[in-house]
Structure 1
Amino acid sequence: MKTFLITENDADQRLDKFLQKSVPLLPKSLLYKAIRKKRIKVNGKRCELNYRLVAGDKLELYINDEFFNEGRTNETFLMVPGNISVVYEDQNILLVNKPQGLVVHEDNDNTPDTLINRVKHYLYEKGDYQPEQELSFAPALANRIDRNTCGIVIVAKTAAALRVLNEKIKHREIEKQYLCLLAKRPKSPEATLTHYMKKDAENNLVRVQDFPDQDTKTMITEYQVLETKGDISLARVTLHTGRTHQIRAHMAYLGAPLLGDGKYGVNALNRKYGYKHQALCAYRLTFQFQTDAGVLNYLKGKTFEVEQVWFADDFHSGRFD
């Protein structure tokens, strides 16, 4: 028999979802059978798959030991560096400035050196994350940005914080602003644009068009040109939707692609200035909560910024004069 004591990080989730995470070696068919046969009990009583766990619940599993993975402390995150650039941190969340070139999660290359693994290593070294004591929760990213985009990524350090962040992001109560370098000046110095995008999965591209059809999604992008030097403009962009490659594709559609963007940009200008990746940074984050935010209420109205953006420094150095 195996006994689990449900903590705050395990609470408020369905029993079956919890078991799929905490006992991943147990096939779903055997999980369902164990529930039917009363081999899984909560507080000594029969339970249902959809039972929602409460902190303090005692979960008893009368199943074979072979299904329990006792080697959880041999974690992949210990293989990668634990050095991260912290923008803000408290007991619930961590704001990390992701460097350009680092993936947030494992991709097709299956590299262990990801942002989330670096974060886990950092929190492990601090004593804020002890995987051997967690049954189903691990620190998680609430948002993500492309490999070659730098800037703020939100990390939930607790399950309660993750639930709030997911809800607030869904309802667009967290504003994200970006800095970028545009390889050409837009016709208007500022605008809020509404267009429609369609994914080209085969080529990993986004196609932008003026009118919607059954396969498109609305994209709304607000931009403001802050300063222009020669061919290059420094601009601030606010996202009102969160689509794949939104800023890169939308600004290119305007005729003002990002400098360094090899997918949507102007290769001649990229080569001229030696930019091999898009000059794009998620530099500012504001918690614009409109409704109750539970454990994160104290963040309402607060704004956090990256102190130094590499290409903005480049722009103001006189390189583009």
Structure 2
Amino acid sequence: MREANFLRQNQARWQAYEDTPAASPDELAARFVSLTDDLAYAQTFYPSSPTTAYLNQLAGRLHQSLYQNKPEQQHRLGYFWAVEVPLVVARHQQALAWAVGLFLLFTAVGMLSAAYDLNFVRLVLGDGYVNMTLENIRHGDPMAVYKLDGRAESFLRIAQNNLGVALKTFAAGMTLGLGTLYILFSNGVMLGAFQYFFYQHHVLKASLLSIWIHGTLEIPSIVLAGMAGFILAGGLLFPGTYSRKEALALAARDALKLALGLVPIIVAAAFLEGFVTRLTDMPVALSLLIIGGSAAFIIWYFGLYPHRVQRRVRAAAGPAPAAYQAAPATELASSSTL
């Protein structure tokens, strides 16, 4: 489509976005999503055009309005977790795929390394932990390590540690993602070696039924913190039509929202580890219920629900511009830098 036709079909809508305030937060979000679609199209076909620069600036203003105005809304926290965090996940599927894929790869590396090198587990977990756990296995309670401290003490210590790990993983995105990559690597390798150690000593079932009571929330939180770090790194490495400073600012907002959205999940995982994981004699059905419920929540909230929210927001923006209906699908493959 010629740029003149693209302007003629959409300029009135853009002008309305500038001149008429949005009637609701959902409409404002819908406008922003619609405008980023327009920007993606313009970046593909008119990368050096004044139209692209104009859309870039207008998208930036809408982005600022979207997040500056929301503290004045009622039910601010509910809106944050119901809409903002899922939209971040939906917008950054590539960062999510990298975080999940790399963590699974590193976990497999940890398992294979433990399988082929008997000393690898001691190298990763430390002699003290390995010796203590072997003693616990001999006494018939392989998960006794979770009973060493008091419940409240364990909960507070674990929550502080895991929140610190998530913060470091997110902030390490400023190292062009290398720091985030290292933290995912070290945690993935540790998890793989850790689980293979229990398999090697024929107590894998006991470990799975205990450790994953909290791990089903804790491990995805680390991976999602890695996603936040990669979003931050993307703002530095791939600014698109923005200046690097502007791209970093936009990426930092999304990454920070995701990191903050993980806080209650990390705290819930710490609560389970401090108060529930230690109950190693609980019925298997109850353990599976907790693990299954946690897994279902993670899959729904970070896997399925974000796409539902994104579709709802796009629908609120109205029908797709004709430019998208006319252009071949391969030409629309590029995504917004926002």
- TM-score, with normalisation over the residues of structure 1? 0.29
Higher helix residue share: 2
- Using CA pairs under 8 Å that are at least 6 residues apart, name the structure with larger relative contact order, 1 or 2: 2
Q: TM-score w.r.t. structure 2 length?
A: 0.28
